[in-house]
Amino acid sequence: MVNGSRTAPPPAAPAAPARIQVADLRLSYGDKEVIHGISFDVRANEILGVIGPAQSGKSSMLRCLNRTIEFVAGARVSGTVHVDGEDVSRTRDVHALRRKIGMVAPLPVGLPLTIYDNVAFAPRCAGLRDRAELDALVEHCLRQAALWDEVKDRLGSLGTALSGGQQQRLTIARALSHRPEVLCLDEFSIAIDPVTTMRIEDVLKELRREITIILVTNLTQQARRLADRTMFMLNGRIVELDRTDVVFSEQPGSRQTWDYVNGNFG
């Protein structure tokens, strides 16, 4: 039981260096504070799972990391977010920050362009014009998203004509075309079938060799399968952040954690 005597977990491996460091992050929409002074780090080449019920601040927290929260009218942020040691609030090139921290939305939003042009859009905007380089980059990103074999013979077709699961993987390929160093996924599996979800999970396991991943998910077992560490948020606060095997054990650090991962609320 969670309130019984605790067995010490096995010694942890040395922690990887932190890519993102968040300290006393607060977010308000108008007069309502929705994130209440949270602090955490995200380590290089880890998958950090973020779980919690709706309205816990998970998605808003993601948007604070690359300053896309600035698109929300009335949003006010305080505290600090450092990415590779740089305070993001002081960065001179917010577009470079958003390329560095890619974002995949809950629902696939395909551009009304061909499959090829969906992936090539951002590199072209960044100035890449060489067709051979674009071809290689498009193929590489589609392969990373486990979509190449399904679309390689119809790259000129509309991306919006793909199935929902294929569009979600196209969205991931498009995010990867920025060559991000951190990839944030916000409930990517909310509108796709379990088989496609498992395919994308396999993609994420491969991607973590190259990039850092933050996975906000409403599926607790998805975090259990994928995450190196898991953060449980509730009402804009961090209840627990620990190794995933600890968070999902019979003796996590908080009774609230145990209740949530066992389906007693949420």
Between residues 52 and 9, the one the model is more confident about:
52
Length of the chain in residues, anyone? 266
Q: Considering the chain, what percentage of its residues have pLDDT values greater than 90?
A: 73
Residue 81 counted as domain residue: yes
What confidence tier does 13 reach under pLDDT thresholds 50, 70, 90?
A: low
Q: Considering the chain, what percentage of its residues have pLDDT values greater than 70?
A: 93
Provide the domain count of the chain.
1
Angle, alpha carbons 15-46-255 (nearest 5°): 80
Residue 93 counted as domain residue: yes
Residue 12 counted as domain residue: no
Q: What is the structure's pLDDT at 164?
A: 84
With a cut of 60, say whether residue 12 has pLDDT above it.
Answer: no
Structural domain range at position 245: 18-261
Sheet bearing 75-83, strands edge to edge: 32-43, 18-29, 75-83, 86-87
Q: State the SS3 of the chain.
A: CCCCCCCCCCCCCCCCCEEEEEEEEEEEECCEEEEEEEEEEEECCCEEEEECCCCCCHHHHHHHHCCHHHHCCCEEEEEEEEECCEEHHHCCCHHHHHHHEEEECCCCCCCCCEHHHHHHHHHHHCCCCCHHHHHHHHHHHHHHCCCHHHHCCCCCCEHHHCCHHHHHHHHHHHHHCCCCCEEEEECCCCCCCHHHHHHHHHHHHHHCCCCEEEEECCCHHHHHHHCCEEEEEECCEEEEEEEHHHHCCCCCCCHHHHHHHCCCCC
Q: What is the arithmetic mean of pLDDT over 83-108?
A: 90
With a cut of 60, say whether residue 108 has pLDDT above it.
Answer: yes
Q: What is the arithmetic mean of pLDDT over 206-234?
A: 95
Residue 97 counted as domain residue: yes
With a cut of 50, say whether residue 5 has pLDDT above it.
Answer: no
With a cut of 50, say whether residue 249 has pLDDT above it.
Answer: yes
182: how many CB neighbours lie within 10 A of its CB? 21
Residue 247 counted as domain residue: yes
Q: What is the arithmetic mean of pLDDT over 11-34?
A: 87
Question: What are the tens digits of pLDDT across the range 146-195?
Answer: 899 999 999 999 999 998 888 889 999 999 998 999 999 998 877 678 88
With a cut of 80, say whether residue 220 has pLDDT above it.
Answer: yes
Most confident range (mean pLDDT) of 31-40, 95-104, 202-211 is 31-40
- Judge whether 208 and 28 are in contact, CB under 8 Å: no
Residue 166 counted as domain residue: yes
Query: Can you give the CATH number for the domain in which 68 is found?
Result: 3.40.50.300
CA distance 171 to 177: 10
Taking each helix axis as running N to C, give the angle between helix 164-176 and helix 131-144, from 0 to 180 degrees, rounded to the nearest 10.
130
Taking each helix axis as running N to C, give the angle between helix 194-207 and helix 164-176, from 0 to 180 degrees, rounded to the nearest 10.
20
Q: What is the arithmetic mean of pLDDT over 94-106?
A: 90
What confidence tier does 7 reach under pLDDT thresholds 50, 70, 90?
A: low
- Judge whether 72 and 98 are in contact, CB under 8 Å: no
Q: What is the arithmetic mean of pLDDT over 19-36?
A: 96
CA distance 187 to 211: 18
Between residues 37 and 168, the one the model is more confident about:
37
Residue 68 counted as domain residue: yes
What confidence tier does 10 reach under pLDDT thresholds 50, 70, 90?
A: low
Residue 43 counted as domain residue: yes
Q: What is the arithmetic mean of pLDDT over 68-90?
A: 95
Q: What is the structure's pLDDT at 24?
A: 98
- Judge whether 242 and 229 are in contact, CB under 8 Å: yes
Lowest-pLDDT range, 78-82, 203-207, 221-225, 226-230? 203-207
